[in-house]
Amino acid sequence: MIESLPQLIISMILFLILFFGIGFLLNMLLRSTWIMAIIYPLIVVWIVDSINFLEYFTAPVASITALMSDLRALYLADILILSSGLVGTVLAGIAIRMLRVRGYQMF
């Protein structure tokens, strides 16, 4: 759990910049504007969830129930940090789209 406000703010900025950079590079390399915004919820599940990936196929109801329980147990600070990562991925998609509209072919 985040214990101080400066630590929360720094964590939010780091997640925003980290996922903006990852999203920008993926969008540029794969030429798909919103790929990281689509993948990001899977990354959040991977960060939050404590269940093995294969259990989603062997026991789907129990796995999804446990995932919902884990998501409900998140603190406000965790939600804010993960949300700032989503904002970073959306901003990366907007930046790529703006560069493409302005004629930059490499993007």
Q: Which domain holds residue 82?
A: 5-101
Q: Identify the pLDDT of residue 93.
A: 93
In a domain, 92, yes or no: yes
Residue 2: band (very low, low, confident or very high) from pLDDT cuts 50, 70, 90: low
Count the Cβ atoms, other than its own, within 10 Å of residue 90: 17
In a domain, 107, yes or no: no
Dihedral angle sign, alpha carbons of residues 9, 41, 61, 59:
negative
Query: Cα-atom radius of gyration of the chain, to the nearest Å?
Result: 16
As for how many domains the chain has, the answer is: 1
Instruction: Kindly report whether the global pTM for this prediction surpasses the value 0.85.
Output: no
Burial bucket for residue 102 (CB in 10 Å: 0-12, 13-18, 19+): exposed
Average pLDDT for the chain: 90
Residue type for 43, please? I
In a domain, 81, yes or no: yes
Say whether pLDDT at 106 is over 80. no
